[in-house]
Amino acid sequence: RSHSMTTRLGVLLGARCGASAAAARAAAAKRHVASASTVRQALGTATAAPTMLGTEAAVGQKLHGWTCERVEELAELKCMGMLWRHDKTGAECLSVEQPLEENKTFGVVFRTPPESSNGIAHVLEHSVLCGSRKYLVKEPFTELLKGSLQTFLNAMTFPDRTCYPVASCNLQDFYNLVDVYLDAVLHPRALKDPRVLAQEGWHYEVEEKDKPLTFKGVVFNEMKGVYSNPDSLQGRTLLNNLLPDTPYGVDSGGDPREIPNLTFDYFKGFHERFYHPSNAKFWFYGDDPPARRLELLDEFLREFDRKEVTSEIPLQPLWAEPRRVEHSFAVGKDEDISKKSMACVSWVLSEDKPDLETSLALSIMDYCLMGTPGAPLRKALTDAGLGSRVIGGGLYEGVAPPPFSLG
C-alpha cells in the first residue's frame, strides 16, 4: 500500500511541475483560500451552538441489505446515530456519523456466555485472529500491528461477551482492518486446524527427558499468571460466588485447572453457536461514508441465514440474607502471612441490568464515594487503619447485574 501511494503522489507532483508557473501559483492561492475557509468553517462549527449535519437515513429505509430502525440526533456530539438491522440475518449495526472525528472506529461484539471455566471464550478470542479464509497467514493480528496505520487494534473477553474493535485515521487502512477482522471472526482458520487450539489454548510439552509432561499454551500461561495474583483471584472468586446461577458463576478467562478439559469439538461447536451474525452487534463511528459501512458488512453477512441463538443471560435471584465465602491464595515460601489476609464486602445492586438513568446515577454515586483518594468512603476506610490499602474497586458495570465491592 505504501509503495502504490508513493507512486501516485510522484505522478501528481510531476504533472504539477509540468504546468506553467503562473497556473501553479494561481492554483496554490485557490487552495490556500479554500483551506483557510475550511479551517475557519470547521472552527466555527466546533465552537458554535450544536448544528446537526443532515443524513439521508430514515426509519424504514432499506440500503445494502439493511433496514433502518431508528434515527436519532446526538446533539452533545453534534452528529447522527442510526440503528440498522440486517434483513437476512437479523444482525444489528449502530452507525454513528461523526464528520468531526477522523479517527474511524469499528467493532463487532458477540454474546458468548461460558458454561464452564475451560476458557473457551478467551481461547476463541485469541484463535480467530490466527488466520482466516481470506488471509492465510499464521497471525494476521501481529502483521497488522507491525504494518498498518491502526490507532487501536485489540480483542477483549468479558464475562458474557467478546469484543473485536479497530480504529484508524486512514480510510483505506480502516477498510482493510474491518475486512481482516470480519473474515477472522466469521471464517477463522482455527476451525479446520487443531494446531491453533493447541497453540493458543493448551498442549502437552516435554521439557526434559524422563520428566512428566507439562501443560503449555498462550491462554493457559496467561491465566496461570492471573491466578497467581491475589487481587485478581479475589475479584474472580467474588464474582463467581455473587452470581453462581449464571454464566458469571464460572471464569470466562479460564481456570488453569480446567483449561486442559477444552476439546477441539467443543471449540468448534462454541464458534458455530455464538459467532453468527444473528448473535452479533456491529458498531461504526467517525467520518467515513455511512452507506459504505453497510455495504462492507453485507458482503460478509449475505452468505448467512437468520439463526435462533440462545445466548441470553439468566437472572440471579437476589438473596434473602448475606453469604460468606473464604478462599486461599499463594504466597512466597518465606513470606510473613500475618499481613496477607484480605476482606471484602460486596452487594449486587439489581436483579437485572439497570436502565440507563439508573446506571448513570450509580456511576456518579461510585465516583462520589470511591473515585478519588479524598472521596468519603475511600478516605474513611483508609483512615480507619483496618488494612494497608483499599480493595474491591467499587462499582463494576462489566456484568448485567452490577455489583459494588470494597474492602
Query: Residue 42 is placed in which grid cell?
Result: 470547521
CB 78 within 8 A of CB 52: yes
CB 140 within 8 A of CB 201: no
- Phi first, then psi, for residue 23 (nearest 5°) are -65, -40
Compute CA 262 distance to the chain's CA centroid, rounded to the nearest angstrom. 23
Q: Choosing from 101, 143, 200, 397, which is the catalytic residue?
A: 200
The position carrying cell 513470606 is: 335
Q: Are strands 280-286 and 92-97 parallel, antiparallel or unpaired?
A: parallel
Q: Quote the crossing angle between the two packed helices 356-370 and 376-384, to the nearest 10°.
A: 40
The neighbour count for residue 1, using CB atoms within 10 Å, is 12
Query: Residue 333 is placed in which grid cell?
Result: 515460601
Identify whether 222 is a catalytic site residue: no
The CA distances from residue 112 to 124, 188, 300, in Å, are 10, 16, 20
Residue 68 host element (H or E) = strand 66-74
The residue among 161, 167, 178 whose CA lies nearest residue 301 is 178
Task: Write the single-letter amino acid at 203.
Answer: H
- Phi first, then psi, for residue 14 (nearest 5°) are -65, -40
Put residue 352 in one of left, alpha, beta given phi > 0 → left and psi -120 to 50 → alpha. beta
CA–CA–CA angle 378, 381, 387 (5° rounding): 125
The residue among 106, 141, 109 whose CA lies nearest residue 127 is 141
Task: Write the single-letter amino acid at 95.
Answer: S
Distance CA 276, CA 31 (A): 48
Identify whether 125 is a catalytic site residue: yes
Q: Choosing from 56, 92, 125, 357, which is the catalytic residue?
A: 125
Residue 297 host element (H or E) = helix 290-301
Residues marked as catalytic: 125, 200
